[in-house]
């Protein structure tokens, strides 16, 4: 269950960053780097390693606890989250798209290592990869926000790159045995484990 919560926190973190970008045109630096880095950790040996340690999903764990407690909920968070999980289920059956994503990530990885995860070209390439693969599936993941920022190509590219990170966490969630019923039947358990991870850092 711990691994599922970490994956869910990764999903929440990426979605939260997506919404920050859509609303303000920028996103928190440290969580942004951790979420983007997860895209390239395809063969990580644990859920924690996907994010470079628990600290890599600290923002997501906080967002998860706040959402479960009802203390801070963005109206779009749950909608985007369920959309991502739904699309990931469809993506899982499309070997052609999975192969293209895998090859695309491998092609971008060297530039990300050299230039940095948040380099505009890296973000643009990740965004293009998302648009040409995941975004072709229906229903599309719709992001609402400030039209001023959503009309800017660099912002759109970064949002798409972060949606790729959200998809990475959705894949991990499924691999760890996560299901829709966890949200219905195990919400309190999820919240309890998230609080423990925040408190202990392990």
- For 84-95, write each residue's pLDDT tens digit: 999 999 999 999
Show the domain range for 155.
2-137+147-200
Task: Tell me if 192 is assigned to some domain.
Answer: yes
Structural tokens at position 179: 């299901």
- Per-residue pLDDT tens for 141-150? 999 999 999 9
- Contact of 155 with 21, CB cutoff 8 Å: yes
What is the average per-residue pLDDT within 102-112?
A: 96
Q: Mean pLDDT, the chain, as a whole number?
A: 93
pLDDT band at 156 (very low <50, low <70, confident <90, very high): very high
Share of the chain above pLDDT 70, in %: 99
* Cα separations in angstroms, 131 against 15, 113, 125, 127, 162: 17, 22, 10, 6, 12
Identify whether 83 is part of a domain: yes
Q: How many domains does the chain fold into? A: 1
pLDDT of residue 113: 94
Model confidence at 44, in pLDDT bands (50, 70, 90)? Answer: confident
Distances in Å between the Cα of 106 and the Cα atoms of 5, 70, 72, 86 are: 27, 39, 37, 25
Burial of 28 (C-beta count, 10 Å sphere; 0-12/13-18/19+): middle
Q: For residue 142, is it within any domain?
A: no
* Dist CA 81 CA 15 (whole Å): 7
Tell me what pLDDT residue 184 has: 74
Under DSSP, the state recorded for 12 is H
pLDDT in tens, 51-82: 999 999 999 999 999 888 877 667 788 889 99
Position 175 in a domain? yes
- CATH classification of the domain holding 70: 1.10.3890.10
């Amino acid at each position: 269950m711990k691994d599922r919560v970490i994956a869910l926190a990764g999903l929440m973190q990426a979605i939260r960053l997506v919404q920050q970008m859509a609303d303000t045109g920028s996103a928190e630096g440290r969580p942004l780097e951790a979420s983007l880095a997860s895209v390239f950790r395809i063969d990580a040996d644990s859920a924690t390693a996907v994010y470079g340690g628990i600290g890599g999903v600290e923002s997501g764990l906080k967002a998860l606890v706040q959402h479960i407690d009802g203390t801070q909920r963005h109206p779009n968070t749950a909608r985007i989250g369920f959309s991502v999980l739904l699309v990931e289920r469809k993506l899982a059956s499309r070997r052609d798209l999975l192969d293209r994503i895998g090859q695309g990530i491998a092609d971008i990885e060297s530039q990300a290592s050299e230039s940095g995860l948040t380099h505009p070209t890296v973000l643009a390439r990740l965004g293009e990869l998302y648009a040409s693969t995941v975004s072709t599936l229906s229903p599309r993941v719709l992001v609402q926000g400030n039209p001023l920022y959503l009309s800017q190509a660099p912002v759109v590219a970064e949002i798409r790159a972060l949606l790729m990170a959200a998809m990475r966490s959705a894949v991990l969630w499924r691999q760890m045995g996560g299901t829709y019923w966890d949200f219905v039947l195990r919400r309190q358990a999820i919240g309890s484990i998230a609080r423990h991870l925040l408190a202990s850092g392990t």
